[in-house]
């Protein structure tokens, strides 16, 4: 596998590098814009979870060029500077961050808030948090675009979004792979319920399944319409393409546009490169000494590996039935 | 003041606002619901990442999805799983257990356990005395408003640390909030740790997304709900903190972070405000994010995304590293300090138990044997081991030395100047080396030396030129052969026997063999094939050869017939024109040419009816001899990067270990546990080395810097790490296919860990076991047995041939062993697997109930195959259209059996599809067809956009008029009825099965298994079940029996099996 292998397997990765985008995700926002005209009339845009900055690049190119356009990019991680983009290295769950964004817009709310942050790590969600800060900075009628992973509770998320926006759609650009569970919630017409006071300190509208509108396993679930963006003639992200694209110029390897700057693992990588990661004490480093006798070794009885055991069948009802106040 | 209740009313307030949103949602009439509650799927078994682990007395609790597995860690050397408690946390994943401290109670009899994960909490009281497990009581499942990061018992109540930096005191019996205190800094947390045994002294250490640790005291709140300011902020990590652990006795806190490091902080008593915090250790050792950390009295345990569990001292040295989990990381750790055990649970759903040994491994190590001395001139050329305590070495002066490991001294056995400069040295195999060794030189001379009486050595000149290689073959204690390769591919076979006195040995040339021509034409290894009529040899060219062990064998019908190998006088093998010629030598009766590639075969081993070979191609083969012919069964790759396999041993417990060289290290690798049992930094395999293992010790000797180095691991000192549960797949499952069902009689009853009184009545009758194949991104294909009675799962075998991810498997030709004429219990099937890098593999599997084992055993093997393809092929493209091809025009008209193409490896061209149908707006992720009684086909497809498309397809034969030559019938496809369900699911529909013309079942990444009614116009929703496997990629359903109903297997990031009654 040479360095061109990824260029062959992922045509959008390759095109992103050749067009100077920091990540292939730039095409997703471009294709979303083509479908929904997201940038029409937008002068103030916020890019949440911006690093490495490809969406900020698109935003600054599309609206920063209009002279009056302002783009603010927020991320916890440091990001290489981009012309025409104001960067805030901060936490989107902090009120100070929201205030800072508004400050950069000279007190005006934003027309568009986008978030391409993936639910990172083990258990974290980014879209509800992005929506939470968006309620602080978005103008009425504004637009919110966020990456969602369509897992088990996506219908809950839809119902949350529908509280705040007059139109909620689920869109999938062609540059996003079929094999990926990601999609984008395109929410237009910000219209918070009457009397709603934004509050970052509370997890926003922690919806639960509703027996009437949004059932956990019933037929009534909030599933928003699904839109595929990008025309069929665009490249298929699930396919491999030859290096010399039809109608394109001759292939030349392009290095990544912007490698990540100071990622959390930087020190670990430096140490590894220098061979300075801690190593275990190998037996060959210590001389043979007396052998202690250990207790009989444990042994799992096995002919074939048991992957799952028998199920405990509850033969008697629990002595105490759950009290009803848990279920509202 | 219940926050949960507040949230509830909050959402209800907004539900009136939702009505406008409902305009765009799909709603199905509620009235129709009543009729459609059947069939209802219930979860039977799940295999998911292990996300929580806790030792309670001598039991281990493991959280797998919402279920709890209970293991008994008995001291009698017995280790077993007691039970699975289903569905403790509803749809949440279990992240932790907190056992209520019992001041005078005995946790060995019963325990009150708080189980939490995501936003759910439940308390369960269990009793488990005398191996009997009982659930005594369970509370309601309490839903919190936010993620629970930590829980702590404060007498009868529980303190919870929640996701936005608040602490809740909760009554777990009634299920209500007693007190809630937020921090002034309401940032999002990534982890938290609660300290203290009473609300008054409760301390929270919170890991904020700003990478800081916040220490604050909830009890200092002036009134309920009044925010509390943090007492201390601790910075240091440059990534999110995923886990922390506090050791009260030493005043230490450990944190694990996204920045791949673990930090140790000296904090003193954290319950005292304003204390000094000092970072005393910054430990880099992981090569990916660190998920978990745990402080013990003398150790620090950490584990993470790199699948390694590290044991550190409190000073920051790595004492041990536990490697063996596969896939995406270790998710949970637990420790049993008294027993010095660490238990890890992986994303691969495996659970392993490891032994803490302290500083260094006692009884293990490398020592230099100090050969160099004035009395021993010359430099060492070769070394060999005769058993594990006697070592032999030869120098360039032709002197043979013996080293006794017990006495620790060198002794010269003999010196022969004929063996100067070039000398091969091999000790005979056997428990302690048979007391013999052989030397060979460049002039064709072989010397066999009895180690105890070297004066009785026997010389034999065999060839006019150099002896290229020497190897031994031992059959029981009866027959000992020495094979020596000379020029021109001639192998001399010498028979070695000893006089009864033991003082003299006899060497007799029995016969000569001839190897197939190649540039480097010598053999490398040899072994008797039981019962002993044949020898299996490997050669330098990578071929595996089968020779008769005696020259007369083939001509003597008595011997040949008895062995069942002389069937039709297999004659002399391919390569040897003058096979039986005594001058040139016997040819092989069977050859697998270049099986191991150009680098050669390195070892052959016969065990349990199979032949195993290893080679320098990084692979080992399982072979089978049938009718005197070698047949490959299974090719397996060793661990990544180990391309030089040197040998294979069957260790006393019956499992197999692989010897090999990994860069400059010698490695003993266990393929079952994926563990490197021994690692010796010897410099690589090109120098002279020797390996021996006996009950008492394992030894590895090699030459380095003109001296002999000896690595020894004395018996008993390396307690094997225990696999409590093997991992299923390291990565996502991409495809699930059911092969068939085998019936086990009562004699094969799966042993129940519970006593018979627990057996349910009505579970009698034939014990059906489903055989299911899964394949995965981790490049393996796995065969599973799923008994219907116990809800358990057993891994039968894994096939690891693919170089890239395996995407799909197909199964056909299902039969029974012995064929239709003589059916025997069991199952046979052909399997084809396809994966990345355009790779396909085909193999047959045979599953038979083994008489010794109460569970099925397996015999996977490669076989030439004739694939039978269905007449119409459907393709699932990413543009949402379905295409149908007529394969009958491509293939032979009269036959549905496809002969292998003339040019193998080139697929047939499909040409243009005969029908293309735009069914969906984007990619199609599932497809199923069912022939109807009217002769039509019901076709259903599911797409990425969550929609379903169902239509009836008719195949009509049209007479083609304009056809030149013979007029033929041309099939034409016509769509009769067509329906679409646009918002059937909220995500990709990845599994779809038409069970009957009236019922269809679909599964989606939104984790719903939904039944649809067909046949009355639009498919209508019947009911839906939420399952636990994320990212489900495939589903298979099958009817088991009228009593049992249907079964359904869902594969994704885990495996789940459902069943429903028809």
Rounded to the nearest angstrom, the minimum Cα separation between A249 and chain B is 26
Cβ separation of B139 and A152 shorter than 8 Å? no
Specify the 3-state DSSP secondary structure of B653. Answer: coil
User: Residue A267 domain-assigned?
Assistant: no
Question: Among A138-142, B23-27, B415-419, B584-588, which is the least confidently predicted range?
Answer: B23-27
Predicted pLDDT at A116: 87
Predicted pLDDT at B260: 94
Of A121, A280, A293, the CB nearest to B320: A280
In degrees, rounded to 5, the angle at the alpha carbon of residue B296 between the alpha carbons of residues B290 and B302 is 15
A33 Cβ partners below 8 Å, 6+ apart?
A39, A58, A62
C-beta of residue B642 within 8 angstroms of C-beta of residue B659? no
User: Residue A306 domain-assigned?
Assistant: no
B19 Cβ partners below 8 Å, 6+ apart?
none
Please name the helix (run of DSSP H) or strand (run of DSSP E) that holds residue A28, with its range, or none: helix A26-36
Q: What are phi and psi of B53, to 5 degrees?
A: -145, 140
Q: Tell me which chain A residues have a C-beta less than 8 angstroms from the C-beta of B303.
A: none
Q: Which residue of A has its CA nearest to B51?
A: A122
Q: Tell me which chain B residues have a C-beta less than 8 angstroms from the C-beta of A221.
A: 25, 986
Specify the 3-state DSSP secondary structure of B895. Answer: coil
User: Residue A66 domain-assigned?
Assistant: yes
Beta bridge partners of B116: B96, B121
Rounded to the nearest angstrom, the minimum Cα separation between A45 and chain B is 24
Cβ separation of A311 and B139 shorter than 8 Å? no
Q: Tell me which chain A residues have a C-beta less than 8 angstroms from the C-beta of B47.
A: 307-308
d(C-alpha B837, C-alpha B854), whole Å: 39
Predicted pLDDT at B346: 93
Same domain, yes or no: B921 and B1046: yes
Q: Which of A78, A279, A312 to mutate to test the interface with B (most CBs of B within 10 A)?
A: A312
Report how far apart the first and last C-alpha atoms of chain A are (Å, whole number).
Answer: 57
* Chain A / chain B CB contacts < 8 angstroms: 387
Predicted confidence (pLDDT) per residue in B1018-1042, tens digit: 899 988 889 999 889 999 999 988 8
d(C-alpha B1008, C-alpha B1003), whole Å: 6
C-beta of residue B466 within 8 angstroms of C-beta of residue B444? yes
Of B11, B86, B316, the CB nearest to A311: B86
Q: Which residue of A has its CA nearest to B284?
A: A277
User: Residue A276 domain-assigned?
Assistant: no
Predicted pLDDT at A225: 82
B138 Cβ partners below 8 Å, 6+ apart?
A318, A322, B88, B122, B123, B124, B125
Same domain, yes or no: B851 and B919: no
Cβ separation of B258 and A121 shorter than 8 Å? yes
Predicted pLDDT at B364: 66
A197 Cβ partners below 8 Å, 6+ apart?
none
CATH number at residue A39: 3.40.50.150
What's the domain count of chain A? Answer: 1
Side-chain half-sphere CA neighbours of B574 within 13 A? 9
Cβ separation of B9 and A200 shorter than 8 Å? no
Cβ separation of B1007 and A152 shorter than 8 Å? yes
Same domain, yes or no: B826 and B942: no
Q: Which residue of A has its CA nearest to B237?
A: A264
User: Residue A320 domain-assigned?
Assistant: no
Same domain, yes or no: B926 and B818: no
Rounded to the nearest angstrom, the minimum Cα separation between B82 and chain A is 8
Q: How confident is the model at residue B872 (pLDDT cuts 50, 70, 90)?
A: very low
Predicted confidence (pLDDT) per residue in B80-129, tens digit: 667 788 889 988 899 999 999 887 767 778 889 999 998 899 999 988 87
Q: Which residue of B has its CA nearest to A226?
A: B945
Cβ separation of B725 and A305 shorter than 8 Å? yes
Same domain, yes or no: B925 and B1007: yes
What's the domain count of chain B? Answer: 3
Q: Which residue of B has its CA nearest to A215?
A: B1024
User: Residue B206 domain-assigned?
Assistant: no
Predicted pLDDT at A119: 65
Helices and strands: H and E segment counts in chain A = 8, 9
C-beta of residue B660 within 8 angstroms of C-beta of residue B642? yes
Share of chain A residues as helix, strand and coil, in percent rounded to the nearest 5: 25, 20, 55
Predicted pLDDT at B1034: 93
Of A181, A208, A284, the CB nearest to B711: A284
Pairing of strands B839-849, B827-835: antiparallel
pLDDT at B733 over 50: yes
User: Residue B848 domain-assigned?
Assistant: yes
Last residue of a domain, one of B143, B170, B188: B143
Cβ separation of B187 and A94 shorter than 8 Å? yes
Cβ separation of B80 and A300 shorter than 8 Å? yes
Q: Tell me which chain A residues have a C-beta less than 8 angstroms from the C-beta of B44.
A: 311
State chain B's mean pLDDT as an integer.
81
User: Residue B893 domain-assigned?
Assistant: no
Does A258 or B547 have the greater pLDDT score?
Answer: B547
User: Residue B1049 domain-assigned?
Assistant: yes
Predicted confidence (pLDDT) per residue in B952-990, tens digit: 988 887 766 554 555 566 778 888 889 999 889 988 999
Cβ separation of B284 and A265 shorter than 8 Å? no
Predicted pLDDT at A121: 42
User: Looking at residues B916-941, what average pLDDT do you find?
Assistant: 87
Q: Is A147 a catalytic residue?
A: yes
C-alpha of B195 from chain center: 38
Q: How confident is the model at residue B893 (pLDDT cuts 50, 70, 90)?
A: very low
Predicted pLDDT at B267: 94
Rounded to the nearest angstrom, the minimum Cα separation between A65 and chain B is 33
Cβ separation of A282 and B879 shorter than 8 Å? no
Rounded to the nearest angstrom, the minimum Cα separation between A74 and chain B is 14
CATH number at residue B948: 2.130.10.10
Question: Which two three-digit tokens encode residue A218?
Answer: 């019933």
Question: Which two three-digit tokens encode residue B806?
Answer: 């395996």
Last residue of a domain, one of B99, B122, B143: B143
User: Residue A94 domain-assigned?
Assistant: yes
Peptide bond into A147 cis (omega under 30): no
Cβ separation of A288 and B291 shorter than 8 Å? no
Question: Which two three-digit tokens encode residue B43?
Answer: 């979860």
Q: Which residue of B has its CA nearest to A178?
A: B923
Q: Tell me which chain B residues have a C-beta less than 8 angstroms from the C-beta of A319.
A: 136-137
Predicted confidence (pLDDT) per residue in B553-580, tens digit: 555 443 333 333 333 333 433 333 334 4
C-beta of residue B481 within 8 angstroms of C-beta of residue B430? no
Last residue of a domain, one of B842, B862, B882: B862
Rounded to the nearest angstrom, the minimum Cα separation between A148 and chain B is 11
Q: Is B891 exposed, middle or buried (0-12, 13-18, 19+ CB in 10 A)?
A: middle
Q: Which residue of A has its CA nearest to B922?
A: A228
C-beta of residue B216 within 8 angstroms of C-beta of residue B208? no
Q: How confident is the model at residue B292 (pLDDT cuts 50, 70, 90)?
A: very high
User: Residue B1054 domain-assigned?
Assistant: yes
Q: Tell me which chain A residues have a C-beta less than 8 angstroms from the C-beta of B46.
A: 308
Of A172, A281, A310, the CB nearest to B360: A281
Does B7 or B709 have the greater pLDDT score?
Answer: B709
Predicted pLDDT at B859: 37
Distances (CA, A) of B908 to A35, B892, B893: 40, 12, 14
Cβ separation of B77 and A219 shorter than 8 Å? no
Buried b (16+ CB within 10 A) or exposed e, B749-769: ebeebbeeeeeeeeeeeebbb
Among the listed residues A147, A172, A272, A279, the single catalytic one is: A147
Predicted pLDDT at B458: 92
C-beta of residue A128 within 8 angstroms of C-beta of residue A119? no
Predicted confidence (pLDDT) per residue in B441-460, tens digit: 999 999 999 888 888 899 99
B561 Cβ partners below 8 Å, 6+ apart?
none
Q: Tell me which chain A residues have a C-beta less than 8 angstroms from the C-beta of B288.
A: 265
Predicted confidence (pLDDT) per residue in B401-413, tens digit: 999 888 888 999 9
User: Looking at residues B368-391, what average pLDDT do you find?
Assistant: 88
Rounded to the nearest angstrom, the minimum Cα separation between A306 and chain B is 5
Angle between helix A11-18 and helix A26-36 axes, rounded to 10 deg: 90
C-beta of residue B810 within 8 angstroms of C-beta of residue B738? no
**Could you list the residue range(s) of the whole structural domain that residue B833 is in?**
732-745+766-862
Predicted confidence (pLDDT) per residue in A290-301, tens digit: 333 344 444 444
User: Residue A245 domain-assigned?
Assistant: no
Same domain, yes or no: B1020 and B936: yes
User: Residue B1041 domain-assigned?
Assistant: yes
d(C-alpha A280, C-alpha A257), whole Å: 38
Specify the 3-state DSSP secondary structure of B235. Answer: coil
Predicted pLDDT at B166: 92
Same domain, yes or no: B922 and B1050: yes
Same domain, yes or no: B857 and B927: no
Predicted pLDDT at B589: 92
Cβ separation of A210 and B15 shorter than 8 Å? yes
Which of B280-294, B820-834, B851-865 tops mean pLDDT?
B280-294
**Could you list the residue range(s) of the whole structural domain that residue A171 is in?**
26-229
Q: How confident is the model at residue B37 (pLDDT cuts 50, 70, 90)?
A: low
Q: Which residues of chain A have pLDDT under 50?
A: 121-124, 285-303, 312-328
Same domain, yes or no: B923 and B819: no
User: Residue A179 domain-assigned?
Assistant: yes
């Amino acid at each position: 596998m040479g360095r061109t292998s990824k260029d062959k397997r992922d045509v959008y990765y390759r095109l992103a590098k050749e067009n100077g985008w920091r990540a292939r995700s730039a095409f997703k926002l471009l294709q979303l814009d083509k479908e929904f005209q997201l940038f029409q009339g937008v002068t103030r845009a916020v890019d949440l979870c911006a690093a490495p900055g490809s969406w900020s690049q698109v935003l600054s190119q599309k609206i920063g060029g209009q002279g009056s356009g302002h783009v603010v990019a927020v991320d916890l991680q440091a990001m290489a500077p981009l012309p025409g983009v104001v960067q805030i290295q901060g936490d989107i769950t902090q009120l100070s961050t929201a205030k800072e964004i508004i400050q950069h817009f000279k007190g005006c709310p934003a027309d568009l808030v986008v978030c391409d942050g993936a639910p990172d790590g083990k258990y974290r969600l980014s879209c509800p948090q992005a929506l939470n800060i968006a309620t602080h900075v978005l103008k009425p009628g504004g637009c919110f675009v966020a990456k969602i992973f369509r897992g088990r509770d996506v219908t809950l998320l839809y119902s949350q979004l529908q509280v705040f926006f007059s139109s909620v759609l689920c869109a999938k650009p062609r540059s996003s792979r079929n094999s990926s569970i990601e999609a984008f919630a395109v929410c237009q017409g910000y219209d918070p319920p009457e009397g709603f006071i934004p509050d970052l300190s509370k997890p926003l509208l922690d919806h639960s399944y509703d027996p009437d509108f949004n059932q956990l396993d019933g037929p009534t679930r909030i599933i928003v319409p699904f839109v595929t963006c990008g025309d069929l003639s665009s490249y298929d992200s699930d396919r491999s393409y030859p290096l010399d694209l039809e109608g394109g110029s001759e292939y030349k390897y392009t290095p990544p546009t912007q490698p990540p700057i100071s990622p959390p693992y930087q020190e670990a990588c430096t140490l590894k490169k220098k061979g300075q990661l801690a190593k275990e004490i190998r037996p060959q480093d210590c001389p043979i000494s007396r052998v202690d006798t250990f207790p009989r070794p444990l042994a799992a009885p096995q002919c074939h590996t048991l992957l799952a055991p028998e199920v405990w069948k509850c033969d008697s009802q629990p002595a105490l039935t759950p009290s009803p106040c848990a279920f509202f | 003041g219940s926050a949960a209740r507040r949230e509830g009313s909050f959402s209800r307030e907004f539900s009136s606002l939702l009505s406008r949103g409902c305009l765009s949602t799909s709603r199905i009439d509620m009235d129709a619901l009543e009729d459609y509650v059947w069939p209802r799927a219930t979860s039977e078994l799940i295999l998911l990442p292990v996300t929580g682990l806790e030792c309670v007395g001598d039991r281990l609790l493991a959280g797998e999805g919402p279920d709890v597995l209970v293991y008994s860690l008995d001291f009698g050397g017995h280790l077993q799983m007691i039970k699975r408690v289903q569905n403790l946390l509803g749809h949440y994943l279990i992240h932790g257990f907190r056992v209520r401290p019992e001041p005078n109670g005995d946790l060995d009899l019963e325990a009150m356990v708080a189980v939490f994960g995501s936003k759910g909490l439940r308390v369960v009281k269990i009793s488990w005395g005398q191996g009997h497990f009982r659930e005594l009581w369970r509370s309601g499942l309490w839903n919190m408003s936010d993620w629970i990061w930590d829980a702590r018992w404060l007498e009868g109540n529980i303190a919870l640390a929640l996701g936005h930096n608040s602490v809740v005191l909760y009554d777990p019996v009634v299920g209500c909030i007693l007190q809630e205190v937020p921090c002034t800094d309401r940032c999002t947390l990534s982890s938290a740790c609660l300290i203290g045994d009473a609300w008054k002294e409760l301390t929270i250490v919170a890991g904020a997304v700003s990478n800081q640790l916040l220490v604050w005291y909830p009890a200092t709140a002036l009134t309920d709900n009044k925010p509390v300011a943090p007492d201390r902020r601790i910075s240091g990590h440059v990534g999110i903190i995923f886990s922390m652990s506090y050791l009260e006795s030493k005043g230490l806190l450990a944190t694990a972070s996204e920045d791949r490091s673990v930090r140790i902080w000296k904090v003193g008593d954290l319950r005292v405000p304003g204390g000094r915090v000092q970072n005393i250790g910054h430990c880099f050792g992981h090569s990916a994010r660190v998920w978990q950390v745990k402080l013990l009295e003398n150790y620090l345990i950490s584990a993470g995304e790199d699948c390694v569990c590290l044991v550190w001292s409190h000073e920051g040295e790595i004492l041990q590293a536990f490697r063996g989990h596969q896939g995406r990381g270790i998710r949970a750790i637990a420790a049993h300090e008294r027993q010095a055990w660490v238990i890890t649970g992986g994303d691969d759903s495996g659970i392993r138990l490891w032994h803490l040994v302290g500083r260094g491994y006692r009884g293990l190590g490398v020592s230099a044997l100090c050969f160099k001395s004035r009395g021993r001139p010359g430099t060492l050329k070769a070394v060999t081991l005769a058993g594990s305590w006697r070592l032999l070495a030869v120098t360039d002066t032709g002197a043979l030395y013996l080293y006794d490991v017990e006495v620790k001294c060198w002794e010269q056995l003999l010196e022969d100047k004929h063996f100067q400069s070039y000398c091969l040295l091999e000790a005979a195999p056997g428990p302690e080396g048979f007391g013999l060794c052989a030397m060979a030189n460049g002039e064709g001379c072989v010397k066999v030396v009895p180690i105890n009486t070297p004066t009785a050595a026997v010389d034999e000149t065999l060839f006019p030129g150099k002896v290229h290689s020497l190897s031994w073959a031992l059959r029981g204690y009866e027959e000992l052969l020495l094979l020596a390769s000379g020029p021109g591919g001639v192998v001399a076979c010498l028979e070695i026997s000893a006089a009864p006195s033991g003082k003299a040995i006899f060497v007799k040339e029995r016969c000569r063999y001839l190897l197939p021509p190649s540039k480097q034409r010598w053999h490398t290894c040899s072994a008797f094939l039981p019962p002993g009529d044949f020898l299996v040899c490997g050669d330098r060219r990578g071929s595996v050869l089968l020779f008769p062990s005696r020259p007369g064998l083939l001509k003597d019908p008595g011997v040949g017939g008895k062995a069942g190998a002389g069937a039709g006088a297999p004659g002399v093998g391919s390569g040897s024109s003058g096979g039986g010629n005594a001058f040139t030598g016997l040819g092989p009766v069977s050859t697998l040419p270049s099986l191991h590639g150009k680098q050669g075969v390195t070892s052959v081993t016969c065990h349990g009816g199979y032949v195993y070979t290893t080679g320098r191609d990084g692979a080992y083969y399982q072979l089978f001899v049938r009718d005197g012919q070698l047949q490959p069964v299974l090719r397996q790759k060793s661990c990544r990067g180990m391309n030089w396999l040197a040998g294979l041993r069957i260790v006393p417990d019956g499992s197999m270990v692989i010897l090999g060289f990994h860069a400059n290290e010698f490695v003993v690798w266990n393929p079952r546990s994926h563990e490197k049992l021994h690692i010796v930094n010897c410099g690589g395999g090109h120098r002279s080395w020797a390996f021996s293992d006996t009950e008492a010790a394992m030894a590895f000797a090699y030459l380095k810097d003109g001296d002999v180095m000896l690595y020894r691991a004395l018996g008993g000192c390396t307690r094997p790490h225990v696999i409590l549960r093997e991992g299923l797949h390291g990565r996502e499952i991409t495809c699930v296919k059911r092969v068939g069902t085998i019936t086990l009689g009562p004699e094969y009853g799966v042993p129940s860990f519970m006593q018979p009184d627990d057996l349910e009545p009505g579970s009698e009758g034939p014990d059906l076991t489903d055989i299911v194949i899964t394949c995965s991104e981790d490049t393996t294909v796995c065969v599973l047995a799923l008994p219907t009675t116990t809800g358990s799962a057993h891994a039968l075998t894994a096939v690891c041939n693919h170089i890239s991810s395996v995407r799909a498997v197909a199964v056909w030709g299902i039969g029974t062993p012995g064929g239709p004429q003589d059916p025997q219990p069991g199952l046979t099937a052909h399997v084809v697997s396809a994966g990345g890098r355009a790779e396909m593999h085909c193999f047959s599997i045979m599953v038979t109930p083994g008489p010794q084992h109460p569970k099925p055993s397996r015999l996977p093997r490669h076989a030439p195959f004739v694939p039978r393809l269905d007449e119409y092929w459907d393709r699932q493209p990413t543009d949402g259209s379905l295409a149908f091809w007529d394969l009958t025009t491509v293939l032979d008209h009269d036959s549905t059996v496809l002969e292998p193409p003339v040019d193998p490896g080139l697929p047939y061209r499909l040409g243009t599809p005969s029908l293309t149908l735009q069914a969906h707006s984007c990619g199609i992720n599932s497809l199923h067809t069912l022939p109807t009684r009217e002769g039509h086909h019901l076709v259903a497809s599911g797409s990425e956009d969550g929609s379903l498309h169902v239509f009836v397809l008719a195949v009509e034969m049209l007479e083609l008029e304009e056809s030149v030559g013979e007029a033929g019938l041309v099939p034409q496809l016509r769509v009769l009825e067509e329906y679409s369900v646009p918002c059937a699911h909220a995500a990709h529909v990845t599994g779809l099965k038409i069970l009957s013309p009236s019922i269809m079942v679909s599964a989606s990444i939104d984790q719903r298994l939904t039944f649809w009614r067909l046949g009355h116009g639009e498919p209508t929703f019947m009911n839906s079940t939420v399952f636990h496997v994320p990212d489900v990629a495939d589903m298979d359903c099958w009817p088991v029996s009228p009593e049992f109903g249907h079964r359904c297997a869902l594969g994704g990031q885990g495996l789940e099996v459902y069943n429903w009654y028809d």
